[in-house]
Every structure is written in C-alpha cells, then in structure tokens.
Structure 1
Amino acid sequence: MTTTTTEKPVENHAFEADVARLLHMMVHSVYSDRDVFLRELISNAADACEKLRYEAIANPALMASDPASRITIVLDEEGGRLVIEDNGIGMSRDEMIEALGTIARSGTRAFMERIEAAKAGEGTQLIGQFGVGFYSCFMVADRVDVVSRRAGSKDAWLWSSDGKGSYDIRPVDLAEAPARGTRISLYLMEDARSYASRWTVERIVKEQSGHVPVPILIAGTADAEPSQLTDGSALWTKSRNDISKEEYADFYRGISGQYDEPALTVHFRAEGRHEYTALAFVPSSQPFDMFDPDRKGRTKLYVKRVFITDDAELLPRYLRFVCGLVDTADLPLNVSREMIQESPILAAIRKGVSSRVLSALEKLAESDGDAFLKVWESFGAVIKEGIYEDFERREQLMALSRFRTSAFGDGYRSLADYVKDAKEAQSAIYYLAGGNPEQLKASPQLEGFRARGIEVLLLSDSIDSFWVMNAPEFEGKAFRSITQGAADLALFPKTDGGASASAEAPAHLADFIAFAKEKLGDQVADIRVSDRLTESAVCLVASEQGYDRQLERILQSAGRLETAAKPVMEINAAHPVIRAIAAKTEPSFQEDATFLLLDQARILDGDKPADPRAFAERLQRIFERLA
C-alpha cells in the first residue's frame, strides 16, 4: 500500500457524470467474465510503453536509463492485492485527471444508455463485447491506487478511488513512485481474490494478452525476482501459417477494445515499390459508436515496430469499423503528423490496404454467403457510404452490396441478382427509400409493381437516398425511385391479366379530378390517375424534377431544404371509394372527401395531416352523413 505524509495536499474530485454512471452499473451488475479488466489494464500499459518509444525518438534521454519496455505484474495472494506496473510514458497530474476522471471517448453516453435499456443478460453481453477500459478494474477491486510519474518529470502523483463517485489525487515522494511510468494497485474484493493467484493471472494473460508488443513479467511477491511471461513479440511480423485462429482473436480483442470474435482477418505483407505489413480485422458486431460523427478508424500506424499514431486515416471512413495496424519501414521514425496526412507513401498504403479488405469481403461473399450476410447486417449501412464517397471503387462496392427487396422475403439480394431477374422490357432498377423494410413493404406506391411482378429494392438506411443519386447505373440500368415521377407501368402487364387503372376509369372521374385540382391547387402539383395503385385509394409521389420523397424529408430535417416541393397526388380509378366520391355531385361532400383523401395519402406516406383539427371536422361531417 502506498503511504504519503500528511503535509502532502490532497485534492478530492467528483467523477464526471458519465463515469459515475458507468461505475455504478459495473459495481451493481453481474458479469459473466470479469477477466476483461486485466486485458484492459495490460493494453493501456502497452500503449504507454509504445508512446514513450515514440517520444524518445525526438528525446532519447527519456529512455536512456532504462531502454527496455516492460509490464510487470506483482501478486499478493495473501493480502488480496494485484499490481500492474509499466515503465512507459507515465502521467502528469492533469493527465491523470483527464484519463482517470473523465470519459472523453465519443459515443460513451449512447453505449451506457444501451446497457441501461438492455435486460440483465444483454447488458452483460454489451460489457464483454465493448470493454470498459481502465474502469473495468472496479469490477474486481474495492479500491484502486494509481501512482504515476511522467518520463522526464520530477513529480509523481497518486490517484486513489473506491469507485463510488469521487477520487483523491495528491503528490507522492519520488521514492514511492516508479522511476517512470505507472503502477496500478488493485485491492481486490472478497469474491475476486483469485485474481491474485499466479495460476489465474498466467492463464488470463496467455489467453487474452499474449501478443501485446511489450514483454510481460510476473512476480509472486513484491520482493521476488520477476520471470518473463510473454516475450512481447509482434504478432504481425510472424507468418500467417504460424499464427492460430485463437492467437488472432486474442490480438484482435487487445487492439479493438471489443470482446467478440473477428468475422474476418486480413493479414498480408506488401512488397515492391512500398513495403509494409498490414493486419486488419472485421468485427462480428458493431462498435457502439460506429455512427458517431466524430468516430475515426481504429487502425494504428507503426514504423519499424514503433507505434506512431492511431490517427493516420489508413482506411476510408466507410471502412471505419475495421481495426488493425500497418507497420512500414518506408517512413522515418520522426514522421510528423503533417507529413502523415500528406505523404504519398501513406496514400499508396491506404489504397493497398483498402483494396485488400474489400477483396477479402468479396471472397467471403463468394465462399460463405451466410457469414458475409452477418457482416453486411452489421456494417452494410457504413459500406454503402463508399458508393456515395468513393468514385474509384463505386462499381466494386455496388457489386458487394446486398439489399432487401419486395420479392425476396427477409433475404438479401445483390444488384447482379436483381438485374439478372429483371423484366425483359425493364430499363431501370426500381427502389423505394424510407423507414424499416416492413413499413416499406406496406407502402401504397409498391402495389402496382408487385401486381406486375417487378422487384423493388427496399432501402431503409439514410445513406441510401444519397448514393442512388451518385450512382447513375449498374450494368446499364439506371436507379429510379418509385415515389418520383410517372411509374411507366403500362409497359408491363399485370400478372393476373387485369386492365390498368386508367383503362377502367369511369367517365365522371375526369370531372372530380378537375374539381380536386381546383381545391388542392396550393397543396399539390398535380392530381392524376395512377397505374401504381391496385389496393389503396390514393398516394403521393414526387414530381419528375427535384428529389424523391424520402430524400426531401432527410434534407428538410437536416435544415438543408427550406421548402418541400408540392407532391403529385395519384388516385386509384378502380377503387370503390374513389368511384363513390366521383359519383357524388354535392360540392360540400366532394370538398370534404378531397381533403380527406389528401390527408389519407399523407398518413400512408408516414406523415400527419397538415391541419389535424380540420381533418377531424371533415371526418366528423362524413360520419354524420352516414348516421
């Protein structure tokens, strides 16, 4: 236990609100695998050692007295204490407050809300899946003391907390601190004292942290000579044939902060103009902050096995779910952040790694369709961002994409499958963008296409409304929204042999349409008989020019579009309600019916009546006529 003199000033701080909530959930929940805490602490220690190696490039004196990086685990089985110490970069007072008292990682609030909303079992899975960094130590410890001295500093600091809402921080004598680096002392809970057992710790380290690029030592007591537990060899420098699936999974968990299995592993060495080694993993589940706008990739850059940065943008944003590393000897060790962003070498590496990841996904789709669909369900919405952003790989990404459609139940279809099964006279790939697939299947605009056996893509991700605008065609067929413009369905006979709606229109319908146009002229651009309706009485579509209905909604909600264009209202001439309304000659009734039809179309489109009170009053008058 670390002791300090009474003269040392003690500062007491409350945890940031998000930290307090997270600690409360961990302490008061039951976790299926608390072993994760040791992996998290070892990963942090390895990062600290790698950061020191990088800073020592410019300032060799930081490592001069102790050049060999290491992580040392000291056991106190009798006292129920576990110590993890590294000789890495260490922390100053301000860095300790920032690192241990706040959660700066974006998306944490959403992550915790998911845990709180989940059932007990699902919450457990989330914790194991995503990891909780340093704070995981409170799953096993009643109190945690952290003593740290930043490399090159003459000050050392003690951070201490019981994980119940606050922490103390105070200076300590240099004699009580590491020469540099950080020492974390865990005072274990009664039911977690097995974590001070050598057998338990060795098992966990070998299973979960056997390939961190820093040697790990272990000592049975504070006075014992430490023995080497792992040698710190870099996994990515080995041949793929010498690495087991379990070793890859262990390494993946260490760099990703997740606790699932990788769905796909890409490990290769590039030789030629540029030489580098890349090791990339596609997770089997979504990172909790995948859609956070500030989220960046999880790919680290090494130069000659020296960690440089995890902010090098080695993959495009639409592959930000991929985690891993690139190690190259083609860059100088003192490469600056500005040079990283502008380096043609990094641009070539980015292109090469991106191509290999996409090629691996293509091979997975060909060899194991079920496994690929699991990846697609987790990351398809992100991959499709590339169709919008990456012109060079647009065709490749479109071929890789999978879609739910109106003709294929709950399964997925590729665009190649769609084109192969298209109608003989079909010149377009039809799509419907909107909410979830089940809502889209119930859309009235889909009825005429279904009646003619024409397959329609059901696009339920927000990015879908944008990439279809940037992708002019696929294998010669243009993309066309079924909620925009005329449907042109007269070219395709109905599968039941029925006539089109326009051919069945009664003579007096034209008079009603003219009346409706007069009454609704300031709310709709046009009213016309529809070929796309077979069951519903009415629907709304966008005009030929401008945006389709879903894209218009997205732009309006984002403040990018001040006023929506007037929609076109289509009516089903064969529907008994339309025929009955058209047959009535009473102007007041037809006026109420006309506005009700427009409101009905809005409701079917996922909107609400423009004037709810007027809608209710018109409905009341119609009911009174039936009384």
Structure 2
Amino acid sequence: METVNNEYYSFQVNLQGMISLLSEHLYSNPGTFIRELLQNAVDAIAAFRQLDEHLIGDIRITLPDAGPAGNPFVFQDNGIGLKENEIHEFLSVIGESSKRKSAEDARTFIGRFGIGLLSCFVVSDEICIETRSAFDATGFRWTAFNDGRYRIETLQETMPVGTKVCLTPKKSHAHLFRPENFIPQIKFYGDALPEKITIRTGKEEKVLNEQPPVWLHPDTSKEALLQMGKELFQTSFIDAVRLRTEAGECEGVLYILPYKTQFSARQHHRIYLKRMLLSEADNGLLPSWAFFVKMVVNSNTLSATASREFFMQNDLLRAARKEIGKALKSYLKNIRNIDFEIYQKIIQIHFLHLKAIAAEDTEFLSLILDDLPFETNKGFRTFKDIREHFPVIYYCADYEEFRQVQRIAEYQGALVVNVAYTFEEDLIKKIKGMQPELNIREMSSSKLLETFTDISEDEKKAYRAVLKKLEQYTKPFNCVMQLKYFAPADTPAIFTRGDEDFTSATIKKIKANDNPFAGALGSIQQRAEAVNTFCLNMNNGLVKNLLTIDDDYMLQAITEVLYVQALLMGKYPVSEKQLLLFNNALHSLLVMGMKNFIQI
C-alpha cells in the first residue's frame, strides 16, 4: 500500500474534549487539581534537593478573595523550576513529563505521566505559570488557554528559583477555592509531607503541617498511635501494630478493629505514596483475609496509576502485600505472650478471619488452634475444651444439616461442630490431618441414625407385620422405615434425607425446567432412589401405642401425620402433595374420632 503524496500526518488533540475526559473519567472529583498541584510542587522540590541536599522545601498558597475583583489563586514552590525549552517540552506537550527519565526518577518523584496539569483546566479556563530554573537566571511566564493556545514571555523582573501557578476560578468551581473547602483538602493530601505548607487567606497566614506525622516517628508510643487512630478513623482500636517492609519501602501502622467485619467488607485506610495521600482504599496492599485491620501506610517505591489514585498491580506490590501478611501473622503469634488480654479480644471478635489465616498456614494454626472458638450443638466452645471433653468430634459442613441434628445429638451426648462457615470445613479437615490421634468424623442426619439403638430380634419379629404396613404407607414418598431407640423421648419420629436423594431431587428439577442436559443425567437418577429414612422412636409413648393399633385406617392416618411432622421438625421443605396428605390424615382422624364419640 502506498501513502498518499508520500506524506505523513500528526494526530490532532481536542483539548476541551481531553479536559472533559479527565474530569469525567480519569479523576474521581473536581478537587483533584489540588492534589496535582501539590504533587508537582513536591516533585520539583525533590528534584532541586538532588542538587542541594540542605534545601528546605517551601510551598505557599494564596486563596482568592471573594468578589469579582479578587486576587487570583496562587500556588508557589521553591522547587527546581523550568528552563524555556523545558516549558515547551513538558508544559505544552500532553503526556510528556519531566519526571520520566530513569528508574531513579521513578523512585524519587510521585508523578510521571505528564497529564496532571490538565486537571487545572477543569476549574479554570486559563493557567498562568511563572517559573525560573535553578540552571537559569531568567524567569518565564507560560499562559495557556482551554482552546489549546499558549504563549511564553520572558519576565523582566527577577524571581526566585521555583514555580508559581496562578488560576482564575470558573464560577461553577469557585466554591472549591473557599477556605472551608480548600484547607481540608490540602490537609487531606499533604498532612504527612515534610515540605512546609503555608496558606494565606486575606491577611492571615497559617502553616498547615507544623508537626511531623506521629505515625512515621519511630519513638511514638502505642498510646499515641491509638489516639491518632481514634482521631483519624473515629474508632477505639484494640491495638496498633508497627509496620515496615523492604518491598515497596512501606512504613506505617496497622490498627486492629474492635468489632466484627464481613469478609466482603471494604475498610477505609490512609495510603500514602512518598508521604502524599494516594487513596483511602487498601490498593491491594492487604492480604485477602485481613478485613479486620485498618492501616495508615506510606510507600516510597511503589508506583501509582495515571489517575494517581491507585497503586499499579505489579510484582513489587505483590511482594509488599506478602510482607505485610507475614508481619500481621507474626504479630498475632507474638501478642499471645506479650498481652494475653488483647489476644483474647482478637480471638473473640475476629475468630472467623483468624480461621481464614489458619486454613492456609499450618504453623499459625498449630499456635492458636486450642484458643479458636467453634459453634457446636452445646454452644460456642474452644477447640481445647472440645478435644479434652469429647472422645469423638462430629462436624457438619452444611448448616441445614447442623440444625437438623443438633437437638437429637445433644440428647445422645454427642458434640457436633458447625463448620458450614467460610474456611471452616477446610480447617477441620486440616486439623484431622495434623492430629490423627483425634477421632474426628463427619456427621449428617443420615449418619446420626447409626448412633441410635436398634430394636432386639424379638421386637423385630413382634413388629414385622405392622412395620410392613408402615412401609407401604410411606413407600410413595421414597422412604424406608426403621424402628430405633433414641433420645429425646418426646420426639416420636425423625426424617433423614441422603445425598443421593438430594441429587435425584436436583435432577428432577432440571428435567422439569426442560434443561438440555436432563437427558444426560437420566442414568444418574436411576442410581439415586430410595435413600430417605423415616425412623420411629421406640422410647416415645405415642409410637408404642401406634404399633398396637389394629385399625388400618387409623394406623395409616397417624403414620402420615408423624411423617409430615418429622419433615417439619427437620426443617425440610414440605411439598403441596405432602401438605395435602397431612390435611387428609387429620381429617380422617377427626372423622374417626367423631364416630367413636357418637357411638359412645
């Protein structure tokens, strides 16, 4: 293919369209210009400090006066400044950055995408920058307009090394420059910066960050860290944990929450990059199981995305996350010996999260296993209490099964652990592998029947005829009949459903919905029949009387009532057919009772 006229063309950029794109998509709020100006100032000071290590960074901000004739907004720094050719190269070319020259620059500077200054066009139609480079005695004024035009002038007057940005706020965004709105934002982003930030409103000047952040000072006491956490997050935390990593050069504090949290909960944090606030999201720094902590952390070497609101998801971030996970596990291992009261609080409140850690860390599991609480049919008990008092440890991995067996298991003297929660089934199986000397068995309603006492051979002969009748009555419901002794005596019957019958029910539902896979599942269903059990309690007085009834109609009616009652007690779903059976059986019993009353 040939080029037309052998000429090449350059892309054109619609600056107003780019500004709209930035304000609506790249930056999360119109106040982002505050962060971008602060970031550029900090990077300029860092660049100058490479030439003069004794430089004391200074950022001065003047807010505009109210009224149409008020002074403009001014943001000034004593950074390295720009030469004339750098103004053309870095200020006037979208996407070009003075901070993207080397790997060392990436470690030193916060921003490097060359688009941050455009955020000022979101709040102002005109940007005026006066700058003097540390390598030049002459200063320049760069004035840019939102239609894409700009001009450069040489300053006649002498100015100090550094940069001054002047903006005339749009009416629609003038509120962002008011002290009550602007000052909280500049504090929000810059409270941890080492550079002095001075703000002038009218005739008053105030330094916003006179005191360095206590969370970065190595000698700050735990009490002071907890007080800072309370002021920052309005929460009285259980404990504060110092944090430092090699990967990402992260430093800060992890706070242990004093209340339970869901695994899906997203906490608010304070994440800084080179001591400037980046985000309130965890940015992937925390392990997936660490939902019970908040953190205030600064990284010196992680990289930010183009919006500068998130960390880049790369190997360095993953390495930092791994170190933070190890540090948190190390704290949990040590706090048991350092402060047992705090350790107990953490266990009581966050045991589900600790189980998530233990499920993937055998060493950690061994350390805290005895102290972990588990829900059982006898209430919450620590694992130490469970293993010391019960020779057999039963567990249910399905919550509905646990609800069905807990009352009867209680009367049998058996302990059943509910491991239906996230991570707990994996955890109990891991414990079983770690401690094979423990007798740990899975329990279900069908397996519970195996713990009941069978009737004697003489009783089997005596009740053979009536049992045959009972089997006929319940055969339409895919049940086998059993007679057993079990507690409590006030429970006349129980119903259990096996896994195979559940599979059969699922297949039938699929067929009913005309699922295209129904045909392929037909052979499975043939092997999934007749696994339900309807067991009568020989300790129950009603059942003993039932087995002596000669009237087949009454025998059938009472059996059907007991069958549906057992379904309800076991919290199984009851179909319309079974409800109709129940109603008809009650009606029969009422009619038979009325006849007997009339005859009397």
Q: TM-score per shorter chain, which class? A: 0.5 to 0.7
Tell me, yes or no, if structure 1 residue 576 matches structure 2 residue 557: no
Bigger relative contact order (CA 8 A; separation at least 6): 1
Displacement of 1:370 after TM fit?
6.1
Displacement of 1:414 after TM fit?
1.5
Tell me, yes or no, if structure 1 residue 528 matches structure 2 residue 482: yes
Which residue in 2 is equivalent to 1:358?
Answer: 332
Which residue in 1 is equivalent to 2:293?
Answer: 322
- Structure 1 counterpart of 2:492, from 509, 517, 537: 537
Tell me, yes or no, if structure 1 residue 486 matches structure 2 residue 427: no
Displacement of 1:546 after TM fit?
11
Matched residue SS, 2:117? coil
Displacement of 1:536 after TM fit?
1.9
Matched residue SS, 2:242? strand
Which residue in 1 is equivalent to 2:355?
Answer: 384
* Residue segments in structure 1 that go unaligned for 5+ positions in a row: 1-7, 17-40, 79-83, 89-148, 159-170, 492-499, 549-558
Which residue in 2 is equivalent to 1:157?
Answer: 122
Tell me, yes or no, if structure 1 residue 417 matches structure 2 residue 385: yes
Displacement of 1:280 after TM fit?
1.0
What is the CA deviation profile of residues 507-559 of structure 1, one whole-angstrom value per residue up to 9, with x for unaligned ones?
Answer: 555555554555545755754345654132233446599999xxxxxxxxxx9
What is the CA deviation profile of residues 491-514 of structure 1, one whole-angstrom value per residue up to 9, with x for unaligned ones?
Answer: 9xxxxxxxx574699555555555
Number of equivalent positions: 460
Whether contact under 8 Å (2:248, 2:301) holds in the other structure is yes
Whether contact under 8 Å (1:527, 1:569) holds in the other structure is yes
Whether contact under 8 Å (2:536, 2:543) holds in the other structure is yes
Q: Distance in 2 between matches of 1:626 and 1:246?
A: 76
Which residue in 2 is equivalent to 1:38?
Answer: none
Correspondence list, 1:338-349, <5 A:
338-340=314-316, 343=319, 346=320, 349=323
What is the CA deviation profile of residues 245-299 of structure 1, one whole-angstrom value per residue up to 9, with x for unaligned ones?
Answer: 3543434664xxx43222221114468x997645211222356x7526xx58958
Q: Tell me which amino acid in the other structure corresponds to 2:576.
A: P
Displacement of 1:446 after TM fit?
2.7
Which residue in 2 is equivalent to 1:230?
Answer: 209
Q: Tell me which amino acid in the other structure corresponds to 1:323.
A: K
What is the CA deviation profile of residues 359-391 of structure 1, one whole-angstrom value per residue up to 9, with x for unaligned ones?
Answer: 266458832476335523xxx344433455556
TM-aligned CA distance change 1:517 to 1:326, over 3 Å: farther
* Residue segments in structure 2 that go unaligned for 5+ positions in a row: 1-15, 68-72, 78-113, 129-144, 147-163, 306-310, 504-514, 592-600
Which residue in 2 is equivalent to 1:221?
Answer: 201
Q: Tell me which amino acid in the other structure corresponds to 1:172.
A: D
Tell me, yes or no, if structure 1 residue 618 matches structure 2 residue 582: yes
Whether contact under 8 Å (1:281, 1:323) holds in the other structure is yes
Which residue in 2 is equivalent to 1:472?
Answer: 432
- Residue identity (%): 10
- Structure 1 counterpart of 2:238, from 251, 260, 263: 263
Displacement of 1:464 after TM fit?
4.0
Correspondence list, 1:64-143, <5 A:
none
TM-aligned CA distance change 1:342 to 1:371, over 3 Å: closer
Whether contact under 8 Å (1:524, 1:567) holds in the other structure is yes
TM-aligned CA distance change 1:569 to 1:511, over 3 Å: same
Q: Tell me which amino acid in the other structure corresponds to 1:340.
A: L
Displacement of 1:415 after TM fit?
0.6
Displacement of 1:46 after TM fit?
9.2
Q: Tell me which amino acid in the other structure corresponds to 1:446.
A: Q
- Structure 2 counterpart of 1:607, from 566, 572, 575: 572
Matched residue SS, 1:618? helix
Displacement of 1:67 after TM fit?
11
TM-aligned CA distance change 1:573 to 1:472, over 3 Å: same
Whether contact under 8 Å (2:215, 2:253) holds in the other structure is yes
Matched residue SS, 1:323? strand
Whether contact under 8 Å (2:192, 2:212) holds in the other structure is yes
Q: Distance in 2 between matches of 1:299 and 1:525?
A: 60
Tell me, yes or no, if structure 1 residue 173 matches structure 2 residue 146: no
Whether contact under 8 Å (2:63, 2:201) holds in the other structure is yes
Question: What TM-score do you get using the length of structure 2 for normalisation?
Answer: 0.56
What is the CA deviation profile of residues 69-128 of structure 1, one whole-angstrom value per residue up to 9, with x for unaligned ones?
Answer: 9696969999xxxxx99999xxxxxxxxxxxxxxxxxxxxxxxxxxxxxxxxxxxxxxxx
- Structure 2 counterpart of 1:291, from 261, 264, 267: 264
Q: Tell me which amino acid in the other structure corresponds to 2:544.
A: R
Question: What TM-score do you get using the length of structure 1 for normalisation?
Answer: 0.54
TM-aligned CA distance change 1:374 to 1:355, over 3 Å: closer
Q: Distance in 1 between matches of 2:378 and 2:61?
A: 60
What is the CA deviation profile of residues 4-32 of structure 1, one whole-angstrom value per residue up to 9, with x for unaligned ones?
Answer: xxxx99x99xxx9xxxxxxxxxxxxxxxx
Which residue in 1 is equivalent to 2:220?
Answer: 242
Q: Tell me which amino acid in the other structure corresponds to 1:238.
A: H
Whether contact under 8 Å (2:387, 2:393) holds in the other structure is no
Matched residue SS, 2:539? coil
Whether contact under 8 Å (2:333, 2:364) holds in the other structure is no
**Higher radius of gyration, 1 or 2:** 2
Q: Distance in 2 between matches of 1:181 and 1:235?
A: 34
TM-aligned CA distance change 1:231 to 1:518, over 3 Å: farther
Tell me, yes or no, if structure 1 residue 402 matches structure 2 residue 373: yes
TM-aligned CA distance change 1:154 to 1:404, over 3 Å: closer
Whether contact under 8 Å (1:539, 1:601) holds in the other structure is yes
Which residue in 1 is equivalent to 2:101?
Answer: none
Q: Distance in 1 between matches of 2:547 and 2:60?
A: 84
Q: Distance in 1 between matches of 2:168 and 2:214?
A: 25
Matched residue SS, 1:261? coil
